[in-house]
Amino acid sequence: MEQQETRQVTFHGEGAKLFGIYIVNILLTIVTFGLYYPWARAALLKYLYEESEFEGSRFTFHGTGKEMFIGFIKAIGIFLGLYCILFGGVATRNVTIMMIAVAVFYIGFLLLIPIAIHGALRYRTSRSSWRGIHFGYRGDRKEFLNMFVIGAIITLITFGIYGAWLVIEIRKYIFKNLRFGNITFSYEGEGGAFFWLNVKGYFLSLLTLGIYSFWWVKDLFAYYVNNIRMYQGETRLTFRSTATAGGYFKLILVNMLIIVLSLGLATPWAIVRTMQFVFSNIHIDGPLDVNAIVQTEADYTDATGEDLADMIDIGLV
């Protein structure tokens, strides 16, 4: 039986090297009263990309602190605007105005989530490359916004149940519009399966006083990874997770211990351990001609979505 081709990304980062970047980032962010944060984030992303290798070549992050600072200022302005409306409405002590202000605040915040995801994906992918070939995201903001808002309303009406379907729809939309040169992607997950996976994980974690949570996390990771497809022409490649509950237990327990015992100073080592764990447990199966990948994506430099997503703490993909 012919053995299937398999590939994976390797992370070569070291805690000590990342620690140097981490300390400088913290000190300069404190000294500049937070203004250095975009440069700090750009430095972190640059290091993580450059230490990630696929087929003998490292990835590159082309984003700059200046680009992310402009996006940072825009994001701050949007959040300040929303909070000014909220506090302004409360200050009037008029019930009607207060209710309108609260509604505007929460609706505005809800709308920011899909806008942030869309903008962050456009920026991050366009500023990411491998062998000079850029990633890209071709989603339409209005289309994504409509899908998200309708899904959020249905989730609210169904008391959160539809949330599982919404998460899958978002992932399907993102991967459908994701590009790496002339490589395309898709996501094959289903809302029903994802819903029951979470129901099982939730109740078994409760019954086992949290012990099953490591299997739950392992199953979630596998469901996210195993349903990713990558296409090169007519050739289909599949992603496969090899993560185990025991591996997650060791990762989470050790990371918690080194962060707590070091009062946070060992966070870089925890980041490195996490990156190594994730990449070592994702395999790409199938034939891939890396020399046939060609550039197709345009440049995009607006980092507003990147900063909004970071502020709201949204994981991209």
> Is residue 82 in a domain?
no
Average pLDDT over residues 136-149: 92
| Residue 54: DSSP 8-state | E
> Is residue 30 in a domain?
yes
Number of domains comprising the chain: 1
* Local structure of 112: helix, strand or coil: helix
Encoding tokens for residue 112?
């920011």
Q: Hey, how many other C-beta atoms are within 10 angstroms of the C-beta on 77? A: 11
* Local structure of 221: helix, strand or coil: helix
| CA nearest neighbour of 117 among 151, 83, 154 | 151
> Is residue 122 in a domain?
no
Percent of the chain with pLDDT over 90: 71
Q: How confident is the model at residue 312 (pLDDT cuts 50, 70, 90)?
A: very low
Class of residue 31 by CB neighbours under 10 A (exposed 0-12, middle 13-18, buried 19+): exposed
> Is residue 31 in a domain?
yes
Q: Give the per-residue pLDDT at 310.
A: 52
Query: Do 280 and 241 contact (CB within 8 A), yes or no?
Result: no
199: Cα separation from own chain's centroid:
23
> Is residue 51 in a domain?
yes
Q: How many residues does the chain have?
A: 317
> Is residue 263 in a domain?
yes
- Per residue in 248-296, pLDDT (tens digit) is 999 999 999 999 999 999 999 999 999 999 999 999 999 999 888 888 7
Q: Hey, how many other C-beta atoms are within 10 angstroms of the C-beta on 32? A: 12
Task: Give me the residues paired with residue 237 across strands.
Answer: 230
- Per residue in 91-111, pLDDT (tens digit) is 888 888 889 999 988 888 888
Query: Do 58 and 311 contact (CB within 8 A), yes or no?
Result: no
Percent of the chain with pLDDT over 70: 92
Containing structural domain, residue 41: 9-61+254-280
Q: How confident is the model at residue 316 (pLDDT cuts 50, 70, 90)?
A: very low
Q: Quote the CA–CA distance of 233 and 216 in Å, as a whole number.
A: 35
> Is residue 259 in a domain?
yes
Average pLDDT over residues 124-153: 93
Q: How confident is the model at residue 300 (pLDDT cuts 50, 70, 90)?
A: very low
> Is residue 14 in a domain?
yes
